[in-house]
Amino acid sequence: MKKLGKSTKKGFTLVELIVVLVILAVLAAMLVPALVGYIDRAKAEKEYQTAATVYGAAQAVITEKYAKNEFTDAEKSAKKIVTGAELKSMGGTGKDAVIILAGVDSKAVTGYEFSFKDNIISGGKVTISGYDYTLTISTTDGSPSWSAAKASTTQQGT
């Protein structure tokens, strides 16, 4: 004999399933923008690190050229802008020595230029994935800092 009020069927009702789906949709709606923000920040940090690596490699190449006395006296004493085209001879194979030394993706770094005086880089710009990373050197402690802006339509450098 069957007891009244007790169902022998087991499982979730349609209303319970819909409530669970609504809760999952709300959580997903909150999570997706946060993840996109994390991805954008990670990409910007990677590009910043790439710009810093190119700066270090450029300083090394300039120092080597300076040590080998490959700059003229006028270039050594005056502020000089150095682009990738001017530093390619250090690569030995006609390739860009700075990009080779930095070990970065040559397709991502579309241009760079640095100014230097007496073998020390005093400023510059690296263009990565459509953004110009501008380098400024602190006059008090010599530390480099970068700022990023959307690249202009004219590209210089490599």
pLDDT digits (tens, 9 = 90+) for 92-146: 555 677 888 888 887 888 888 888 777 788 888 888 888 888 888 887 887 878 7
Which residue has tokens 């990670």? 42
Output the pLDDT for position 155: 43
- Rounded to two decimals, the pTM is 0.66
Coil, strand or helix at 132: strand
Output the pLDDT for position 15: 93
pLDDT at residue 8 tops 50 = yes
> What burial class does residue 37 get, using C-beta atoms within 10 Å of its C-beta: 0-12 exposed, 13-18 middle, 19+ buried?
exposed
Output the pLDDT for position 79: 57
Phi-psi region of 113 (alpha: psi -120 to 50; beta: other; left: phi over 0): beta
Other C-beta atoms lying within 10 Å of the C-beta of residue 124 = 26
Whether the Cβ atoms of residue 80 and residue 65 lie closer than 8 Å to each other: no
